[in-house]
Amino acid sequence: MPTGVARSWPPQVYPDFNSRARRFPRSGYRMAGRRLTQRQRERIERLQKRRRESAGQGTDAQDGAGLGPEQTGLVIANHGQTLIVENGAGQLCRCAVRQNLGRLACGDRVVWRAFDTGEGVVVAVGERHTLLARPDYNGQLRPIAANLDAVAVVLAPTPEPSEYLIDRYLVAIAAIGARGLLVLNKIDLLDRSGLAALAERLEPYRRIGYPLLLASGHAAHGLNELRAWLRGRTSLLAGQSGVGKSSLIKALLPDREIRIQAVSAATGHGTHTTSASTLYHLPDGGDLIDTPGVRSFELGEIGSNDLDRGFPELAPYLGRCRFSDCRHETEPDCALRAATECGEIAPRRLDSYRQLRAMLQAAAKLG
């Protein structure tokens, strides 16, 4: 693992299973504290595939260990070694995880079996199309959310938005192929001129295809538009502390406390820890994964192609500079600088691109 991956607590976003990032779930397979061989991993994957294909067909009778037939489910909450899994009927079950499956996350589609005690065990994990992970205190990657379709980046007048941080979010979101949205929250704190000035600062993002939604969780402004954007998707709200993510989540989920109690009852602990990631079904359709403590993304193993996807306005000009190793700074006949001078690229976006590119190149040398 490159040293830049596990250097800090905030999460990383990885493309999953159809690219080089497929290495993450495979390398996560462990048994009895040791890393599995390639042959063992392949055998586990074949077994999981058979279980995914047979789940829900009613082919397994209850065995001698008191396990019922295999069935599909959705991970609703993650409490470390214990998961809360929702079955097809919407019922919640507390489940352990087979040791050879690695770490699971909210949003994972799983195959599980119920004990006659009412609890269960997860025996296989469905293919993921995206994965949000972050290093724990030991530097080991811990999955946070799986199968995300969209990420809404929440901003507010205070703390003052940082375009550089927004660009890091958008690069990470683009790398996994998820849709991105900017939500300017707490607009009730701004007067008309202040709102106009902040919206103008964010205008370059709207021009390159990222919608900008004006909202106020306190004043219930813009919530219908946000619900419409989240509908039918598995989404996550991200943003710095203090931007009002919690107030938006409460407004989007009026029965959240009831659902928290239902998860608490399923855990058997009586209370539901506020630090656990939890998936909620939105009233208008779609799912929202609440990840307390997750505020920002690290770029992790993102490569130059992933970085380019986060700057779509640069695509027509990349590769058109006179020099193939152009740094887009002072070199003659730089296509990106020429496009910036013509107003096709926002100057601040080009500056951000150069900073992120230099950072990734430095990390690659260290790795």
With residue 145 as reference, give the H or E element that holds it.
strand 141-146
Residue with structure tokens 């992120």? 356
Q: Give CATH 1.10.40.50 domain extents, the chain.
A: 311-366
Alpha carbons within 13 angstroms on the beta-carbon side of residue 145 total: 29
Residues 71, 57: Cα–Cα separation, whole Å: 8
Beta pairing partners, 35: 30
Beta pairing partners, 124: 111
Chain centroid, CA 187 distance in Å: 26
CATH architecture of 311-366: Orthogonal Bundle (1.10)
Contacts of 120 (CB under 8 A, 6+ apart): 85, 93, 94, 95, 96, 112, 113, 114
Q: Give CATH 2.40.50.140 domain extents, the chain.
A: 17-128
Contacts of 15 (CB under 8 A, 6+ apart): 21, 130, 175, 176, 177, 306
Q: Give CATH 3.40.50.300 domain extents, the chain.
A: 146-290
pLDDT at 79: 83
* DSSP character string of 33-58: TEEPPHHHHHHHHHHHHHHHHHTTS-
Amino acid at 162: S
Residues 108, 87: Cα–Cα separation, whole Å: 12
CATH architecture of 146-290: 3-Layer(aba) Sandwich (3.40)
- Please say whether the dihedral angle defined by the alpha carbons of residues 9, 359, 364 and 170, taken in this order, is positive or negative: positive
CB 366 within 8 A of CB 4: yes
Residues 215, 155: Cα–Cα separation, whole Å: 10
pLDDT at 26: 33
Residue 69: cis peptide before it, omega within 30 degrees of 0: no
pLDDT at 259: 67
Each residue's pLDDT expressed in tens, for the chain with a length of 367 residues: 333 332 233 344 443 323 333 333 333 344 334 456 766 566 666 666 666 556 655 545 555 567 889 999 999 998 877 899 999 999 999 999 988 888 899 999 999 999 988 899 999 999 999 988 776 777 677 888 999 999 999 999 999 999 999 999 999 899 888 999 999 999 999 999 999 999 999 999 999 999 999 999 888 899 999 999 999 999 999 998 899 998 999 899 887 775 667 777 776 655 444 567 899 999 999 999 998 766 555 666 677 888 999 999 999 999 999 999 999 999 999 999 999 999 999 999 999 999 999 988 887 787 6
Amino acid at 231: R
Say if strands 120-125 and 92-97 run parallel, antiparallel, or are unpaired: parallel
In terms of Cα–Cα distance, which of 31, 33, 32 is closest to 43?
31
pTM of the model: 0.80
Fold of the 17-128 domain? OB fold (Dihydrolipoamide Acetyltransferase, E2P) (2.40.50)
pLDDT at 363: 77
In terms of Cα–Cα distance, which of 13, 339, 259, 319 is closest to 150?
13
Q: At 173, list the tokens.
A: 């979101």
